[in-house]
Structure 1
Amino acid sequence: MTLTAATSANAQNTTETVVGVPGPEEDPFIWLEEARSEEALDWVRAENERTLAALENDPRFEELKAEALAIYDSEDRIPFATFRPDGLYNFWQDKQNPKGVLRRTTLESYRTDEPEWEVVLDIDALAAAEGKEWVYKGSTCLPPALNKCMIALSDGGEDATVMREFDTSTKSFVEDGFVIDEKSQGSVSWIDEDTLLVNRDFGEGTLTESEYPFTSRIWKRGTPLSEAEEIFRGEPTDVWAGASLLRDATGTIQARTAFRGISFHESLYYVWKDGEWLELDIPKMASPYGIVDGHLLFSTDVVWEADGQTFPADSLVAVDLEEWKADPNGAAKTLVWAPGERQTKRGGSITANALYVGLLDNVVGKVLEFNFVANENGGGQWLSREVALPDNATVGIAASSNETDQIMFTVTDFLNPTTLYYSDGSSDPEIIKTSPSYFDKAGMEVEQHEATSADGTKIPYFIVKPKGMAMDGSTATLLTGYGGFQIPRLPGYLGTTGKLWLERGGAYVLANLRGGGEFGPGWHQTAIRENKQRTWDDFIAVAEDLVERGFTSPEHLGIQGGSQGGLLVGTAFTQRPDLFGAAIVQIPLFDMLRYHLIGRGASWIGEYGDPRIPEQRAWIEGYSPYQMIAEDEDYPVPFLWASTADDRTHPAHARKGAAKLKAQGHDYYYFEDMTGGHSGGVDNEQRAKLQALQHVYLMQRLMDERDGG
């Protein structure tokens, strides 16, 4: 029997006036939205040929590609690993294994300079045997042993995957095991060795308008997936929905839960209680965080009023697990942590006995360890301590073990290679691996400045530049940012950028824009929907500040960004074409009046608004780069690139932008990676090629002398 979550009054409002969206009569390039039509692919091949002729024939191309490839294939880069009961697992790609191998080693061996690896699954061999362009997309394994896994494989790099049962003990796919051959978005969870909880595309009527699953089934071994029992169903208007399992650190299932994503940033949560789905009385921008020391933790992105208490946005809130299981909406709530000024949490991990939470404190990384300490009265308190890691760096949690207190951390900054720290929980972390230096940092320095945005808000940015460089505007400078979906952009070792750009005299700038997550939920929420222009204003303000200070000048200033960052760059060069000499528009959103109809764009209405609603269309129409392209403007010869296999940010956005630029007589470059997914490039060779193409373009536009400047 299907047990459906009750339709909620909080669901998306469907009574708004709806207007039409641009169709073929208004948009002559809609045909480019067919990702793999012969007409569209012929257009792509012609564009690629033109762009490659201009960039690959540059004498610097091969050198740049070789430098990038040497970094990607480096044998002494850190092999980041995850903890499992039978060892440390790592996925590795290099010249000999371009598609990669899943491999494992012991902790003792991992700590040496040359670990002895045992190959568990060879993706190159699998792809060759099956004649597929397999890309490994991870695995979901049954706790606590984690030896029975569902392996996700993508043909060509798209987000949609097939899944197959794999036994890491025998290093082979399970004969007559669980197999999902229909590629789809979605997920699986192990209930037990013979039962899966599956959130996938089950055919007609099981995908949302955003093309994500909204139904869940329990699949028993030996039965067809089509006959699996449906246990949860959201609504077609949800962004996504599905059931899940709430497990503690031992892998024991403590509750069966479900959610409905009613917008990209808002969800309704449910718990299976007394034979029905009970909706949790928590804010729509709060969610379960994990189980620690017998407590269930929640994270909230908004102020939460409960039990006469006020929990600040971005805080962690705990309930006693057994009390919550007995009365999910009545369990007493306790504050675990709340952010200070300009602080925000950044991911967390749970070991057998502790919670670790990454923290940004004015864009500087820290990690806090939390434990619940009981007292003799049956109560207790949450205690925290800062983990002993270097200051003034970007700090992250790399891996943790559920079975033990083992944990690893990364420490990095722009100029110093990433360092990996390890602790078994009994002492402070120690360095166990350091990434090699990929570029010569001598003579380079990092500064942090602030620009003033259009509404007076101070926007911080970092600049990496040659020491003592002339402040006459002559330095070729690359500015990047993101500013969306509460995702922070943080200092990290520049690697290929350092080698290909900084060593050749360029400067690099990272802007911390509103809409991102550098300063918590408020920093994000102040620049979404009707206020999204603030993100674009922030980026333009940083560019203006760079020019005003003399770091660079418009003819030497380039901008680069991907996905939401591609939209950022598109808005920047269409709103202020006079301010930039180059613009790399990677895998972008670009046609914002049709974005909800292209790929999985409908899932992002919570970030940008709905162009079918007149008031919201007005917000979007004012900045949508595709519509903003004008015949009489002088644009900085943009370089747009995308991926044919990208089923998240569809290549149609970049294609249509290039086609419109061409129709209006503007110069531009367009390249489409015909094998990679959303990140572009499925192996190191292709990734190196993409890096070389972009850096040749930047050098031609920003470093080379050109007629007319």
Structure 2
Amino acid sequence: MNTSALSAALLSIACFTSAALSQERSLSEERKAAAVTEDPFLWLEEIEGQGALAWARAENEKTLGVLQADPRYRVFYEQALSILQAKDRIPYVSLGRHGLENFWKDEDHVRGIWRRTTLESYRRQDPRWETILDVDALAVAENKNWIFQGASCLPPEERLCLICLSDGGKDAAFLREFDREAKRFVADGFYLPEGKQSVSWVDRDTLLVAGDWGEGSLTEAGYPFVVKELKRGQPLSEAREVFRGEPNDVRAVPLVLRDNEGHVHATGVIRAIGFFEHECVLFRPDGLVKLNLPKKAEIVGLVNHRLLVKLDEEWTPSGDVNFSAGSLISYDLTEWKQDPLRAKASLVFKPGPRQALSGLSFTKNLLILTILDNIQSKAFVYKYNQGAWSATPIPLPEHTSVGVTAASDEADQAMFAVSSYLTPTSLWYFDAETQKLEELKTTPTAFDASKHVVEQFEATSRDGTSIPYSLVLPKNARFDGAIPTLLYGYGGFQASLLPSYLGPVGRLWLEQGNAYVVANLRGGGEFGPQWHQAAQGATKQTTWDDFIAVAEDLIRRKITSPRRLGVIGGSQGGLLVGTAITQRPELFNAAIIQVPLFDMLRYTKLGAGASWIGEYGDPDFPEQRAWIEAYSPYQKLVLGKPYPAPLILTSTKDDRVHPAHGRKAAAKLAALGQPYFYYENIDGGHSAAANLIETARRLALEYTYASRRLCSE
């Protein structure tokens, strides 16, 4: 069963609800109005407002005028573009019933082509590809800035697909039915207009659609909470409603549980009542049945007639055996289908003290788990036989980051990406039946890594917790505080930062004799759910404390100094950088703030902000507002405090994190007389770049800025 679409949908949602707090909502209308009145830059929240866009274009002109005039910019741009568009980089593929499929972008295919080949051909240095869909040609034919965001194909034939096309890179997208054998869109096929929607195939003529059905059908976060059944040829207005959540939910996501032969065993809805809290409701002949799983649990798929569930909280079902947070459990499918409320669960995987489940995939008969052990990746094959699960390690290279890139429904075969900071990523093919492990591809070398080394250190945070970080620095480094260093972090939403080949960063930054640091902060998932939950809501300051502790540790060890230290991060990481430079500006001389959250007192009113209340809290509640206000970077920009002239990057088309966060930060810095750089890409979505050319431009701007701030005498 392919659960990637479900996982991606759940990853992009967030909210927090608690009836016990409802009586606390006593913030007066007068106080709310006063808070709004105090902000002179609310007009920048109008995304396509004439004044706001004129302001953004003027800011772009100023920033480009300075940074692109620097002779390093053109060099960095050409180097980055050469790496990003390299013809011999790894074409990652899926293992489907119609061959190995890949989506590819280069200088000739700016928007990209969907294509396929055979395993035999793929093994060659120059595979022979067959084009399925040319998105550049489609964009020209339809005069649209189409960005391909994937396809969901109907098993088991996987001929009919729902193609997801975004205008300029937004999360909101159009869905159109496509016949990938005929290589054309289906005449009078399924079509869904632009929206943040989730869709699942039930059968050839039936979809479950969570979409925008008109007024009152979207949550406060802007996602659908009403699910309807749509039949082929049926107008959207006639689709039959099968589930309705609540407006204060995050969203509803259709659920169709299939085995690898395409048989449907259950249908229903995942009701996301919070980013980390879900309810699973099944459609049964006798009505809707809400499963008795804990709220921090996720159905992740079927394999070998077992239903698998991942737990992010401790659970003791009906006084039975206790399962710890971070565990993976399974049910006998026949027993579960007969009575899902009384079926007995058994343990598949339980994490140790410094372990976390990093990823899981399914082949025809096997479960593949990637597990973090003290932030070191390992891969295992899990097989269910005679009432028990057994695990066998897959002998991939050690001291690397390992991730499954493809798994086959038709055979017990998978592909793995193996990566580290200084070694080019390699792609491995694994056949469990023959135990064959084969290195297929390697990323071309992007920079000279011979002069650098990776070290592992730990910093001590404010509360005494050890915070690990990876340091990539020159081998001949003298610990005199003189190394220009960029510190990168994220620390949120249980996302883990693992080693990956630095590629353009190596070429544009490390080759100049500089250092790069990746911090594994609480709020992330490197050590499982507890590591995340230690820095959530009322304790979110813990993430900022951890980041500052790593910065202080780098300075204490004389690896770098405040004059030579910069910070970089995007989205939640942009908020992280914002808190760092407002809480401890004296530690840094550069800050790259990508598509950031910044005004945390209004974040729930901007873009998809209301979906992240589970991570940060709700500023409409006085108690929660107090802990958010204590760190919200926008409010912490004040007169008389020098900030490290940040570079703020965002995108007009970012419909996830609203561009007003970055806009207002820049405008307030200007009002305070503080230096800054601001660049807003008109397209690009939450990645701030819609294609490889725009990505190269962003990288060149960032590292020209960093070199000016940290490397110049």
The TM-score range, normalised by the shorter chain, is over 0.9
Write the distance in 2 (CA, Å) between the matches of 1:23 and 1:42: 26
CA contact (8 A) 2:360 2:369 kept: yes
2:530: which partner in 1?
Answer: 522
What residue number does 1:382 align with? 389
Q: How does 1:12-161 map to 2 (within 5 A)?
A: 14-19=22-27, 20-21=31-32, 23-161=35-173
- Could you report, residue by residue, the CA deviation over 1:164-195 in whole angstroms, capped at 9, with x for unpaired residues? 10000011111111111x21011111111111
Q: Which position in structure 1 is the counterpart of 2:324?
A: 312
Contact 1:215/1:242 (8 A) holds in 2: no
AA aligned to 2:412 is: D
Amino acid of the residue matched to residue 251 of structure 2?
W
Q: Residue in 2 aligned with 1:405?
A: 412
Note the 1:199-214 alignment, pairs <5 A: 199-214=210-225
Deviation at 1:10, TM superposition (A): 7.0
Residue type of the alignment partner of 2:359: G
Aligned match of 1:439 in 430, 440, 447?
447
Mapped contact 2:300–2:309 kept (Cα < 8 A):
yes
Partner of 2:314: 303
Which of 353, 359, 374 aligns to 1:362? It is 374
Which is further off, 135-144 or 267-276?
Answer: 267-276
In the other structure, the counterpart of 2:10 is none
Q: Return the letter of the residue paired with 1:144.
A: P
Q: Which consecutive segments of 4 or more residues in structure 1 shift more than 6 A?
A: 8-12
Contact 2:200 2:254 in 1 (8 A): no
Cα distance between partner residues in 2 of 1:662 and 1:689: 24
> Which one has the bigger helix percentage?
2
SS in 1 for 2:687: coil
Q: Which amino acid is 1:306 matched to?
A: P
Cα offsets for 1:350-379 (capped at 9, x unmatched):
1110000111110011111111112xxxxx
Task: Kindly provide the amino acid, as one letter, of the partner of residue 394 in structure 2.
Answer: V
Question: Does structure 2 retain, via aligned residues, the 8 Å contact 1:302–1:521?
Answer: yes
In structure 2, what is the Cα distance between the partners aligned to 1:309 and 1:574? 47
Partner of 1:558: 566
The one-letter amino acid paired with 1:389 is L
Select the residue among 614, 618, 642 that pairs with 1:610.
Answer: 618
Q: Which position in structure 1 is the counterpart of 2:357?
A: 345
Q: 1:233 maps to what in 2?
A: 244
Q: CA deviation at 1:12?
A: 8.2
Are the equivalent residues in 1 in contact too, given 2:403–2:418 (CA < 8 A)?
Answer: yes
Asked whether the equivalents of residues 521 and 543 of structure 2 are also in contact (C-alpha less than 8 Å), the reply is yes
Amino acid aligned to 1:652: A
User: Contact (CA 8 Å) 2:649, 2:688: kept in 1 or not?
Assistant: no
CA contact under 8 A between 1:68 and 1:496: conserved in structure 2? yes
Match of 1:508 in 2: 516
- Secondary structure of the equivalent of 1:696? helix
List alignment gaps of at least 5 residues for structure 2. 1-15
Give the residue type in structure 1 aligned to 2:630.
G
Give the 3-state SS of the residue equivalent to 1:91 in structure 2. strand
Q: What is the distance in 2 between the residues matched to 1:436 and 1:657?
A: 39
How far off its partner does 1:273 sit?
2.5
What is the aligned counterpart of 1:679 among 687, 705, 711?
687
- 2:261, 2:533 → 1: CA distance? 36
The answer to whether residue 401 in structure 2 is matched with residue 394 in structure 1 is yes
Conserved? CA contact 1:304–1:312, under 8 Å = yes
CA distance in 1, matches of 2:17, 2:162: 37
Structure-2 residue corresponding to 1:217: 228
Residue 428 of structure 1: how far off its partner (Å): 3.8
After TM superposition, the structure 1 = structure 2 runs for residues 580-599 of structure 1, keeping only pairs within 5 Å, are 580-599=588-607
Match of 2:709 in 1: 701
> Which runs of 5 or more structure 1 residues have no equivalent in the other structure?
1-7, 375-379
Distance 1:23 1:534 in 2: 26
- Amino acid aligned to 1:282: L
| Partners of 1:12 and 1:263 within 8 A in 2 | no
Instruction: Describe the SS at the equivalent of 2:199.
Output: strand
**Deviation, structure 1 residue 685:** 1.0
| CA distance, structure 2, for counterparts of residue 136 and residue 13 of structure 1 | 42
The one-letter amino acid of 2:432's match is G
Distance in 2 (alpha carbons) for counterparts of 1:97 and 1:499: 24
**C-alpha distance in 2 between matches for 1:388 and 1:519:** 23
Q: Any idea what SS the aligned residue of 1:222 has? A: coil
- For the 8 Å contact 2:601–2:628, the answer to whether it is kept is yes
Structure 2 residue aligned with 1:266: 277
> What residue is the counterpart of 1:473 in the other structure?
481
Q: Which residue of 2 aligns with 1:283?
A: 294
Q: Deviations over 1:543-579 (max 9, x none)?
A: 0000000100001000000000000000000000000
> Is 608-617 or 293-302 further displaced after alignment?
293-302
Letter in 2 for 1:405: D
Please give the secondary structure, in 1, of the residue aligned with 2:111: coil
Task: In structure 2, give the amino acid aligned to 1:410.
Answer: A
Residue 195 in 1 paired to residue 202 in 2?
Answer: no
1:463-485 deviation per Cα after TM superposition (whole angstroms, max 9, x unaligned):
00000211000110000000000
Distance 1:324 1:611 in 2: 41
Deviations 1:280-338 (A, max 9, x none): 11110012121121111111011111242100111111111111111111011111110
3-state DSSP class of the match of 2:661? helix
| CA deviation map 1:563-618 (0-9, x unaligned) | 00000000000000000010011000000000000000000000000000000001
The question of whether the paired residues in 2 share the 8 Å contact of 1:438 and 1:495 is answered with yes
Q: Which residue of the partner structure matches residue 177 of structure 2?
A: 165
Partners of 2:693 and 2:621 lie apart in 1 by: 44
Task: Please say if 1:540 is aligned against 2:540.
Answer: no
CA deviation map 1:440-482 (0-9, x unaligned):
0111100000000000000000000000211000110000000
> How many residues are treated as equivalent by the alignment?
692
Cα deviation, residue 9, structure 1: 10
SS of corresponding position for 2:121: helix
Deviations 1:132-158 (A, max 9, x none): 110001011100111100000001111
Matched position secondary structure for 2:63: helix
Distance 1:638 1:10, change over 3 A: closer
| Offset at residue 23 of structure 1 (A) | 4.7
1:373 counterpart = 2:381: no
Alpha-carbon separation, structure 1, partners of 2:330 and 2:188: 43
Tell me the TM-score normalised to structure 1 length.
0.96
* 2:305/2:332 contact within 8 Å kept: yes
Q: Is the contact made by 1:208 and 1:239 (CA closer than 8 Å) also made in structure 2?
A: yes
Instruction: Tell me, yes or no, if the aligned pair for 1:360 and 1:366 is still in contact at 8 Å.
Output: yes
SS in 1 for 2:110: coil
1:232–1:242 Cα contact (<8 Å) kept: no
* Letter aligned with residue 472 of structure 1: D
Q: Distance in 1 between matches of 2:608 and 2:445?
A: 39
Question: Is the partner of 2:546 in helix, strand or coil?
Answer: helix
- Structure 1 residues 641-684: Cα deviation after superposition (integer angstroms, max 9, x where no partner): 10000000110000000000000110111000111110111111
Which residue identity does 2:699 align to in structure 1? Q
Per the alignment, residue 648 of structure 1 pairs with 656
Deviation at 1:223, TM superposition (A): 1.2
Contact 2:17 2:274 in 1 (8 A): no
Superimposed CA distance per residue, residues 230-265 of structure 1 (whole angstroms, 9 cap, x where no aligned partner): 111111110111331111122211001212111111
SS in 1 for 2:463: coil
